[in-house]
Amino acid sequence: MKVLVLRPEPGASRTAEALASLGHEAVLAPLSEIVPVNDGFVPLPPPGSPYRCVVAASANAFIMLDSESRDALYELPALVVGAQTATAAEAAGLRPVELAYNTAAELAEALATSAPSGHLLYLAGRDRKPEIEAALEGHSFTLAVVYAANLVTALPMAARHALRAGTIDAVLHYSARSARAYVELAEEADLTRAALAPAQLCLSSAIAEALAQAGASDLRIAATPDEDSLLALLGDGAMS
């Protein structure tokens, strides 16, 4: 099965390896590029209020940190979303606490009811959901935007060739923003019908809704919002 992968690097290559292990072929066509904001620099905490804990919903929040910020945050506890974010936090020298939360909404709920004491640091992307920020209101925290996902201006050539040839069996969608970009860029390339014809495999119902509004009919939603569940949709039963 040939699968179109729209997520940015380095996640795209990891997904390609996972697909290959399942016997599928990946067509990599990232719709965004992850870049550091402010060179990945984290501001100093307020005087007399050192950071007690770091909060993050994406591995990119740690990958994009500059070396000085990593040193400043070394061995701080981290509350994160997803196993990959926990791994990235450890690689940056922090200590993930508890089990990683499955979604930003789950982490936000935990923060709203039992946020750690002291001044918190929220490492985030420029484009982000509001749940975590809203949960931190009323607590002492600093928001540090350390990365951005810049959308490409045209559908990547690999995607255009494969869609025109009709060889794509499924498309993997990891965010509603990327799904909307996929639809818009396909329309600009006069490939809307070809882009929406394959099975659209979505990490969440919000992503599926964005594609349904564009006219996609073969929509599949992962049982849980993680890549293992997303790739499970490629199984014989789900793709029959």
- pLDDT above 50 for 59: yes
Residue 116 within a domain: yes
Residue 210 within a domain: no
Local structure of 60: helix, strand or coil: helix
Residue 59 within a domain: yes
Give the torsion through C-alpha atoms of 91, 148, 136, 66, to 10 deg.
40
Domain that holds residue 106: 51-149
Q: Are 104 and 154 in contact (CB under 8 A)?
A: no
Local structure of 4: helix, strand or coil: strand
The CATH number of residue 72's host domain is: 3.40.50.10090
**How many domains would you assign to the chain?**
1
Buried-exposed string 40-63: b where 16+ CB fall within 10 A, e elsewhere: bbbeebeeeeebbbbbbbbbbbbb
Residue 122 within a domain: yes
Residue 58 within a domain: yes
| Cβ atoms within 10 Å, residue 171 | 26
pTM of the model: 0.86
According to DSSP, the residues that pair with 123 across neighbouring strands are 56, 144
Lowest-pLDDT choice from 17-21, 52-56, 127-131: 127-131
- pLDDT above 80 for 238: no
